[in-house]
Structure 1
Amino acid sequence: MKAVVLGAAGGIGQPLSLLLKSNPLVTELGLYDIVNAPGVAVDLSHIATPAKVEGYLPADDGLKKVLTGADVVVIPAGIPRKPGMTRDDLFKINAGIVRDLATGIATTAPKAFVLVISNPVNSTVPIVAEVFKKHGVFDPKRLFGVCTLDVVRASTFVSEILGDRSLATSIKIPVVGGHSGVTIVPLLSQSTHPIPSSISSSTIDTVINRIQFGGDEIVKAKDGAGSATLSMAFAGAEFVGKVLRAKGGEKGIVAPTFVNLIADAEGGAKLKAELGAEVEYFSAPVELGVEGVYKINGLGTISDSEKKLIQVAVPELITNIEKGVSFVGAPKL
């Protein structure tokens, strides 16, 4: 398996590359960035794991070289959030970066699985899709928005209110919708470790808000020096690992991820009916297979309060998606 990281020298890219170098399923690791990628590659190449590592810069067709033969491409490239900046504020800069990288993938590795981390994911995933459509290579089964950090946060924060951090690795909570603010909808009612009725509704509301806006907590704590990098790298590597396992033939792997609902026409149609809205992309529990998306699962039984959260999320999500689609359709300045 050849995994490629685009933006490998950045705050997410470096720890993500380290974690992928440690994954025994990765036999070749390609790193690309506008600076420092060859140095990161040499550093990682000294680690005693089987994966061969090579790093490339834009010069001398570096993007084409790194993407040649790629099975999985992960995109954490872009600028980080700064204090007071929302994910949507990142749009103008990161959208252009993702568009150009997507063009490289479309022309060099159109069959690769593409995992988008670059924010705002609700808009950048549609950007990649629209670029692929322009090149006639769009396969919705192979395009994923990485929302795993929302799931990781949900498990962590719920373990805290349950008073046992050791549960964080075993608690499973679906998080649906999108990957920014109110579009993030944690389905706490479906937690594998039920939340006792003794825990107040205000505490639960606080946890939901923290899951939705956990990135702001990190931006503030880093005092302008960065955003969620280490936790995002951990979450990203976890999702990449699941994709690699599924691509290798392992069955029954389910992970929430932001996908185009036509990737599974039947499951997508059922989910749209549940949502009561014509939304093109949505983060839902997706069963992964050797071709990518195998099955999109529905919401299941959710509480009235969760239904209200989804009603708030969907209009915002539709706006975010349209922003990404429009960006690719607009003429470049």
Structure 2
Amino acid sequence: MVKAVVAGASGGIGQPLSLLLKTCPLISELSLYDVVNTPGVAADLSHISSPAVVKGYVPTDFKDAAQSAASMKEAFTGADIIIIPAGVPRKPGMTRDDLFKINAGIVKGLITAVAETCPKAFILIISNPVNSTVPIAAEVLKAKGVFDPKRLFGVTTLDVVRAETFVAGIVGEKNPGKLTIPVIGGHSGETIVPLISQAKPSVNIAGEELDKLTYRIQFGGDEVVKAKDGAGSATLSMAYAGYRFAEKVIKAVSGESGIVEPSFVYLPGIEGGEEIHKLTGCDFFSVPIELGPSGAQKAINVVKSANDYEKKLLEACYKGLNGNIAKGVEFARA
């Protein structure tokens, strides 16, 4: 059985994500950590009749760094998988990059605790901007001497979920989950590149309709922020996407084979990744990943099969993504 930790469990993503994780029969212990309200969230979830035992943790004393660290250490110790949605949400007019300074600091602190308490855990980062927070995590883990590229994932599943949903709406597929659509690159704006040409089963979308679809997948988050009229961002769909990826990692680690899902990973450290690294020029990139007992078992090169339309999207992606990665590395090393 599995101990799962949600760091940022009281937030707009953290609470529905924790609810979904509580329903997973493979999880035996669910540890919830946040700066406020986690004992209450844990008590609420603990009444649900599923196997996971739920505990909530908060810093015991904000004025005492040692006591606060002890609370986090207790929450993280023994974790098999840690999902990190911690951070502030986007507001109208705010890009993911605007969130950088606040969320980068939060992620750096959490990953430091992970490195010191549960360095073998699988780490799933949701905190935006993912294009920068994942490189930050990698640098922190490297500095602590515990970096394993196979165990660090940036969760880009929401882009995949959106692609499935939006394409299904166009082609008339009643169950979007029946579609498989690779969405690669990063997790913000033009760094998100849907490979509609590689959809399975194949679909015929072209011209202006393809342009509109691509834009909607790339900027779907803005659609939610606007619809919520300043009251939040994509929390429920992100919680679903986070759970979907976490469940696949847990199933793969538990021995189920043939599980593939795109994720933002450190390419040079994963089988098949070096070839993609040479094509893209990016150290970190989201591609379909075959998951296994050790985590990221193999990176699948769908980049080489991109058509001319998608290659133009990829050129913009590489430029923007490399800037985001460099910003994260610089922050971590400062």
* TM-score normalised to structure 1 length: 0.96
- What's the secondary structure of 2:305's corresponding residue? coil
What is the 5 A alignment of 1:220-235? 220-235=226-241
How big is the alpha-carbon RMSD for the aligned residues of Structure 1 and Structure 2?
1.0
Aligned to 1:75: 84
1:19 & 1:269 partners in 2: Cα distance? 35
What is the rounded CA distance, in whole Å, between the counterparts of 2:274 and 2:151 in structure 1?
19
Deviations 1:100-149 (A, max 9, x none): 00111010011100000000000000111111111111111100000000
Query: What's the counterpart of residue 287 of structure 2?
Result: 284
Give the % identical residues.
60
**TM-score after normalising by structure 2:** 0.95
Q: Name the CA distance, whole Å, in 2 between partners of 1:272 and 1:138.
A: 19
1:187 aligns with 2:195: yes
- 1:155 and 2:164 matched: yes
Tell me how far 1:58 sits from its aligned partner: 1.3
Q: Corresponding residue for 1:90?
A: 99
Could you list the structure 1 runs, at least 4 aligned residues long, displaced by more than 6 angstroms after superposition: none
Q: Does structure 2 conserve the Cα–Cα contact (< 8 Å) formed by 1:263 and 1:293?
A: no
Asked if 1:118 corresponds to 2:112, the answer is no
Matched, 1:203 2:244: no
Distance 1:115 1:263 in 2: 16
CA shift, 1:67, in A, is 0.3
Which one of 316, 319, 327 corresponds to residue 315 of structure 1? 319
Structural mapping, 1:127-276, within 5 Å: 127-164=136-173, 166-196=174-204, 199-264=205-270, 266-275=271-280
**What SS class does the counterpart of residue 169 from structure 2 fall into?**
helix
Match of residue 296, structure 1, among 288, 296, 299:
299
> Counterpart of 2:26 in structure 1: which amino acid?
L
Q: For the residues of structure 2 that align with 1:272 and 1:231, how far apart are their CA atoms? A: 30
Given the alignment of the two structures, is residue 4 of structure 1 paired with residue 28 of structure 2, yes or no? no
Residue ranges of structure 2 left out of the alignment (5+ in a row):
61-66
Distance between the aligned counterparts of 1:200 and 1:186, measured in 2? 13
Structure 2 residue identity aligned to 1:168: P
Q: Which amino acid aligns with 2:56?
A: G
Q: Distance in 1 between matches of 2:295 and 2:211?
A: 35
Q: Note the C-alpha offset of 1:263.
A: 2.4
Trace 1:99-114 onto structure 2 (pairs within 5 A). Answer: 99-114=108-123
Equivalent AA in structure 2 for residue 33 of structure 1: D
Aligned AA (1:205): D
Give, in whole Å, the separation in 2 of the partners of 1:167 and 1:203. 21
Query: Which letter maps to 2:230?
Result: G
Deviation at 1:200, TM superposition (A): 4.5
